């Protein structure tokens, strides 16, 4: 009887692990997509684009640095997916 109970517990644990491996990544991906469509992430992408444009206009200025820092703060606050930079900042 003890062996049966332990076998059943191991079976349930294995089943839970397999289901977790199958369903958790898709769940996390859908949650990230929902966050990326939020107002905060939209603001992040707009601020990031603005900082990129400011950098193109004046690479030596401080405006793009402030905008970039603000965009980074929004990204962290709302847990947005990072946007790839179109320009290379040295």
- Predicted confidence (pLDDT) per residue in 48-85, tens digit: 999 999 999 999 999 999 999 999 999 999 999 999 87
Give the whole-angstrom CA distance, residue 51 versus residue 17: 44
Chain-centroid distance of CA 5 in Å reads 42
C-alpha distance from residue 26 to each of 12, 41, 74, 79 (Å): 22, 20, 25, 17
| pLDDT reading at 89 higher than 60 | no
Tokens found for residue 67: 């905008």
| pLDDT reading at 90 higher than 70 | no
- Predicted confidence (pLDDT) per residue in 24-55, tens digit: 999 999 999 999 999 999 999 999 999 999 99
Single pTM value for the model: 0.76
């Amino acid at each position: 009887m003890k062996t049966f109970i332990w076998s059943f517990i191991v079976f349930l644990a294995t089943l839970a692990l397999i289901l977790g491996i199958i369903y958790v990544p898709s769940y996390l991906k859908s949650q990230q997509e929902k966050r990326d469509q939020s107002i905060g992430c939209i603001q992040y992408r707009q601020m990031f684009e603005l900082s990129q444009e400011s950098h193109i206009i004046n690479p030596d200025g401080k405006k793009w640095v402030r905008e970039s820092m603000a965009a980074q703060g929004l990204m962290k606050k709302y847990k947005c997916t990072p946007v790839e930079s179109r320009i290379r900042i040295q």
